[in-house]
Amino acid sequence: MSLRIVVPSLIGAVALGGVAIGGIASASSPGTPSGTPSAAPSAAAPAKPSVENSAARYVAPAGGAAGSLTFTAKVTDASGVRSLKVLAWPKSSDLRPTAAEVATAESATCEKSSARTSACTYTLKVTPEEAAELPEGAWNVSVLATAKDGDTTFVPEAATFDVPR
């Protein structure tokens, strides 16, 4: 589990680090000076996807059978839902995944429940060997929702769960 979830994020962080830094510099560029009216009124920004009713559940392997991690959420956007990327990480670590890192994570399966809303589920089987390597304690789940129109919403701590020993 840790190799399939956390490690791809770290690889993505190295590959996308320059892009993220460039995006931060771009976002902090000066805009219209304070007190100066803009040339034209701006249109309202389109609504971003919303992620609601998030929940995560970890079931440890027992009796030689695999365990699992399951994350569920309701995702809504006016244009419809394209995807939901999911990344679990130990809260005790120094990891703080960014939207760019979560974009490279595994996808949940999203089933359309209306033109605007999808019920998304991510399930990962966990072998006894994988479970033995997982840090004990609280874990967070970060998600990146992408709408059909390309808008995104990043939720750094969409849900938490515990890994017991």
Strand partners of residue 89: 140
Confirm whether 69 is domain-assigned.
Answer: yes
Q: What mean pLDDT is predicted for residues 14-33? A: 34
Instruction: Retrieve residue 148's tokens.
Output: 């059909």
Confirm whether 90 is domain-assigned.
Answer: yes
Q: How far is CA 73 from CA 51, 98, 119, 130, 142, in A?
A: 6, 19, 6, 25, 12
Q: What is the pLDDT of residues 151-165, one digit of tens each?
A: 999 999 999 999 998
Q: What mean pLDDT is predicted for residues 16-38? A: 35
For residue 159, what are the domain limits? 2-18+51-163
In whole angstroms, what is the distance from residue 115 CA to residue 81 CA? 9
User: What is the model's pLDDT at position 45?
Assistant: 55
Confirm whether 59 is domain-assigned.
Answer: yes
Whether the predicted pLDDT of 51 surpasses 70: yes
Amino acid, single-letter form, for residue 47: A
Confirm whether 38 is domain-assigned.
Answer: no
User: What is the model's pLDDT at position 15?
Assistant: 33
Instruction: Retrieve residue 59's tokens.
Output: 């079931």
Q: What is the pLDDT of residues 105-134, one digit of tens each?
A: 999 999 999 999 999 999 999 999 999 999
The pTM (predicted TM-score) of the whole model is 0.74
Q: Residue 59, class by beta-carbon neighbours within 10 Å (0-12 exposed, 13-18 middle, 19+ buried)?
A: middle
Report the relative pairing of strands 67-76 and 117-126 from DSSP bridges: antiparallel
User: What is the model's pLDDT at position 98?
Assistant: 98
Strand partners of residue 50: 76
Confirm whether 141 is domain-assigned.
Answer: yes
Closest CA to 48 of 139, 133, 143, 130: 143
Confirm whether 125 is domain-assigned.
Answer: yes
Confirm whether 94 is domain-assigned.
Answer: yes
Confirm whether 43 is domain-assigned.
Answer: no
- Write the CATH number for 73: 2.60.40
Number of domains in the chain: 1
User: What is the model's pLDDT at position 125?
Assistant: 98
